[in-house]
């Protein structure tokens, strides 16, 4: 049963932990996880954090042990497929822990496409998602459920193929496997119950507002530079996201201005070099902590 405090379930240790803590701390929660701490209290929004295994998070929300939780979209999909009452909803995408659930086979396998999986064995930790995919594609294959080290299954003869999460692809390569088909793309998400009480929804709304303020600027930098006034039109093309820049006259340098602008960081070094080419000087690039719309 939910009391007045907001209860958020987080993965204690794993691929979602650092990203979750970093995001929450940028939203002022000041969480400092320690080895044996399973409950962390914060005065911010009167919140309790439950530090648990990721697999437990959907069930905790479902049974109201937690109000919301951060999990991978892949787990949310698997949970929904195995719980037909569908009580959970995605509240917000969080843009970290991105990965994909893919089918992979040995590099020397004679399985060339998904139809070749007919009659074969596929090892996975996501049996419902895989079963659903096989059904949709009219493939009859045997599913071998494993809760770890799925990538070893073909090597030790347990299965002909695997269906596992892939991020950089290093694990597949190390195990002489090649990716054959992506089933779904995933990222960290904030999940809650569709029927959460109003006072929880109000707090969650504030939480999401804070998350978005941080997420919005994750790929942006605050750039300041000096440039010849005549070159200003060229800046627009060089700085993606260049909207409403601040332009200030530079005292003692007629014809020159200082420009302050928020711009996307993706191609930062490339952009900086191009800025230099059009004569920009005193280029300062700064991190932005939050951007409140
Ligand atoms: O102990 P606990 O049960 O809490 O953790 P866990 O071991 O079950 O989960 P964990 O920490 O491995 O993953 C938690 C969530 O992180 C997943 O449900 C995904 O949503 C997300 N995530 C993002 C990943 C990866 N990237 C990822 N690369 N989860 C797992 N992997 C594994 C993958 O299974 C494979 O073994 O990393 C390996 C592949 O990585 P690359 O970079 O070599 O391709
Ligand atoms: Zn797990």
| Mean pLDDT, range 201-224, rounded to an integer | 92
Fold designation for 6-96+187-215 = D-Maltodextrin-Binding Protein; domain 2 (3.40.190)
Residue written as token pair 């995408």: 93
**Closest CA to ligand 1's atom 19:** 72
Give yes or no for residue 167 CB within 6 A of ligand 1. Answer: yes
Nearest atom, ligand 1, residue 54 CA: 4
Q: Are 131 and 101 in contact (CB under 8 A)?
A: no
Whole-angstrom distance, CA of residue 75 vs CA of residue 126 = 8
pLDDT level of residue 240 (50, 70, 90 thresholds): low
Instruction: Give 97 Cα–ligand 1 centroid separation in angstroms.
Output: 8
The per-residue pLDDT for 243 is 65
Nearest atom, ligand 1, residue 53 CA: 4
Share of the chain above pLDDT 90, in %: 80
pLDDT level of residue 1 (50, 70, 90 thresholds): very low
| Mean pLDDT, range 134-138, rounded to an integer | 98
Category of 203 on φ-ψ map: left (φ > 0), alpha (ψ -120 to 50) or beta: alpha
Give yes or no for residue 53 CB within 6 A of ligand 1. Answer: yes
Best CA proximity match to 93, nearest among 10, 15, 187, 29: 187
Fold designation for 99-186 = D-Maltodextrin-Binding Protein; domain 2 (3.40.190)
Highest mean pLDDT among 137-146, 216-225, 241-250: 137-146
Q: Is the pLDDT score of 248 beyond 80?
A: yes
Q: In CATH terms, are 99-186 and 220-287 the same topology?
A: no
CATH C-level class of 220-287: alpha beta
The per-residue pLDDT for 108 is 95
Q: Is the pLDDT score of 289 beyond 90?
A: no
10, 52, 54, 182, best to mutate for ligand 1 pocket (most atoms within 8 Å of CB): 54
Sequence ranges of the domains in the chain:
6-96+187-215, 99-186, 220-287
Q: pTM for the full model?
A: 0.90
* CA 45 remoteness from chain centre: 23
């Amino acid at each position: 049963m939910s009391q007045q405090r907001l209860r958020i379930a987080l993965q204690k240790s794993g691929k979602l932990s650092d990203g979750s803590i970093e995001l929450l701390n940028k939203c002022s929660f000041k969480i400092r996880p320690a080895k044996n701490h399973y409950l962390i209290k914060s005065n911010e929004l009167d919140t309790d954090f439950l530090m648990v295994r990721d697999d437990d998070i959907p069930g905790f929300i479902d049974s109201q042990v937690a109000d919301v939780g951060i999990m991978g979209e892949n787990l949310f999909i698997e949970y929904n497929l195995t719980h037909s009452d569908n009580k959970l909803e995605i509240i917000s995408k969080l843009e970290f822990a991105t990965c994909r659930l893919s089918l992979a086979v040995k590099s020397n396998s004679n399985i060339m496409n998904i139809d070749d999986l007919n009659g074969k064995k596929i090892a996975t930790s996501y049996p419902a998602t895989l079963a659903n995919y096989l059904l949709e594609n009219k493939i009859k294959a045997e599913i071998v459920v494993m809760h770890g080290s799925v990538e070893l299954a073909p090597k030790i003869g347990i299965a002909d193929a695997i269906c596992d999460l892939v991020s950089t692809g290093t694990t597949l390569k190390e195990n002489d496997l090649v990716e054959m088909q992506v089933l779904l793309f995933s990222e960290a998400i904030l999940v809650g119950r569709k029927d959460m009480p109003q006072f929880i929804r109000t707090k969650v709304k504030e939480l999401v507002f804070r998350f978005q303020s941080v997420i919005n600027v994750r790929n942006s930098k605050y750039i300041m530079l000096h440039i010849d006034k005549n070159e200003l039109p060229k800046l627009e093309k060089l700085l993606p996201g260049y909207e409403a820049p601040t332009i200030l006259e530079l005292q003692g340098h007629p014809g020159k201005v200082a420009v302050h602008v928020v711009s996307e960081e993706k191609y930062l070094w490339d952009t900086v070099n191009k800025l230099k080419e059009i004569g920009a000087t005193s280029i300062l690039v700064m991190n932005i902590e939050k951007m409140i719309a």
